[in-house]
Amino acid sequence: MHTPDPSSPAVAVIGAGPAGLIAAEVIAAGGVAVTVFDRMPSPGRKLMMAGRGGLNLTHSEALPDLLDRYGPARARLEPAIAAFPPAALIAWCEGLGQPTFVGSSGRVFPHGMKTSPLLRAWLARLAGLGVRLETRRSWAGWDADGALAFADGSRIRPLATVLALGGASWPRLGSDGGWTGLLPGIAVRPLLPSNCGFRIDWSAPFRRFAGTPLKRIALSFRGRTVRGEAMVTAEGIEGGAVYALSAALRDAIAAEGPVVAMLDLRPDLDPAVLARRLGGPHGSASLSTFLRKRAGLAPAGVGLVQEALHDGAPADLPALVKAVPLRLLAPAPIARAISSAGGIALDELDARWMLHRRPGVFAAGEMLDWEAPPGGYLLQACFATGAAAGHGVLAWLAREGK
């Protein structure tokens, strides 16, 4: 393999998250020298954060259903995910000595539930393949002569480059979206919060429930209902059920201003049964006691009903328990979101995940314009697009005779 500059790797990967590291693994396994550059002191920082509650690698549902989770990006992501589906990601994980299991929700986790053993084994494998890792190297775009430039003033001229710089969520972990200004002539959609919470103007009394989970609830918005859990925050609401609807909620707020979602506090309780339980007067019992005993509501649920009544909702308790209106004002800031939407427009890439306007430059992972709900779908697409970009690099180098 010819490299024009002995000080430059044949391939540079910018970004040491899942997409960048798997791209490097594929390229190195193909016999090509590769160096991974990352601006942080250590690799995989957001991956480590993702594993704090148990590393959800992928999902076990049928591939057509899994692909549907990617919404408008489904067709473009399908070739990459079909080539590196959940079964391949599971086999890859187990090949690193980390057996997996499928949880009750269909999500797939390493048995240890932690990221650190997996990441250590992965980095050891990459080192064994000859992959070099250079940390504290912040990419600054291209210089006037087309060389990759870094903030420390260094320049390199690889034969090919993979960009895997991530989105803009949790910027303290390294991916801050600053790269969006480094791609002149490339269509980049604005980075937006995804899988995020929303701001609600709670009353002062209700704010005492900040940090309280809402378990076994269902959230509905414009014909779609998601069961799960949520969390009251001082500024509003977040959690799995909210994240699953966050794209629709975010886009509706952007188009119309504040919107109303409906929260069912007892989705497993038949409305007719609930109406009978709450149909009579509560006598000397307080409203709080009445709702707790008759509807089985936790204190935060009672508080939500009282909040709605305070805001002028009709005093129809059975209806309120089944549909507490939540007026969502705005998404939480992108820095607090689990992931981000937007990024490089997918039609800027060819079938090899190479930029049409920059031959030899490939892109993968969250910096591309797609989004998905939590449940393993985010990591699945990051790994799949990273692997696809790695194979694209090998194919392009072979075709160019480099």
Q: Which residues contact 345 (CB under 8 A, 6 or more apart)?
A: 186, 187, 188, 189, 369
Cβ proximity of 331 and 250 under 8 Å: yes
DSSP state for residue 281 in the 8-state scheme? -
Q: What is the pLDDT of residue 401?
A: 81
The correct answer on CATH 2.60.40.420 for the domain covering 11-193+337-400 is no
Residue tagged 């799949």 (tokens): 384
Helix then strand then coil, in percent of the chain rounded to 5, is 40, 20, 40
pLDDT band at 279 (very low <50, low <70, confident <90, very high): confident
- Min mean pLDDT across 31-40, 248-257, 312-321 is at 312-321
Q: Which residues contact 258 (CB under 8 A, 6 or more apart)?
A: 327, 328, 329, 330
pLDDT more than 90, % of the chain: 89
Statement: residue 2 has pLDDT above 70: no
- What does the block give as tokens for 55? 């590393």
- Min mean pLDDT across 67-76, 225-234, 277-286, 309-318 is at 277-286
Statement: residue 168 has pLDDT above 90: yes
pLDDT band at 7 (very low <50, low <70, confident <90, very high): low
pLDDT band at 3 (very low <50, low <70, confident <90, very high): very low
pLDDT tens digits, 363-378:
999 999 999 998 999 9
Cβ proximity of 397 and 162 under 8 Å: no
Minimal CA–CA distance to 342: which of 167, 196, 195?
167
Average pLDDT of the residues in 273-291: 86
Burial class from Cβ neighbours inside 10 Å (0-12, 13-18, 19+) for residue 153 reads exposed
DSSP state for residue 294 in the 8-state scheme? H
Cβ proximity of 227 and 179 under 8 Å: no
Tell me the C-alpha distance between 381 and 345, whole Å: 15
Tell me the C-alpha distance between 279 and 277, whole Å: 6
pLDDT tens digits, 46-71:
899 887 878 999 999 999 999 999 99
Cβ proximity of 138 and 151 under 8 Å: yes
Longest CA pairwise span in the chain (Å): 87
Sheet holding 132-134, edge to edge: 132-134, 34-37, 11-14, 160-163, 361-363
Q: What is the pLDDT of residue 314?
A: 87
Q: What is the pLDDT of residue 4?
A: 44
Domain extent listing, the chain: 11-193+337-400, 198-331
Average pLDDT of the residues in 116-131: 97
Cβ proximity of 23 and 32 under 8 Å: no
Q: Which residues pair with 89 in a beta bridge?
A: none
Q: What is the pLDDT of residue 6?
A: 52
- What does the block give as tokens for 291? 């709702």
Q: Which residues pair with 142 in a beta bridge?
A: 148
Strands 339-344 and 188-194 turn out to be: antiparallel
pTM, entire model: 0.92
pLDDT band at 5 (very low <50, low <70, confident <90, very high): low
In angstroms, the first-to-last Cα distance of the chain is 6
Q: What is the pLDDT of residue 23?
A: 98
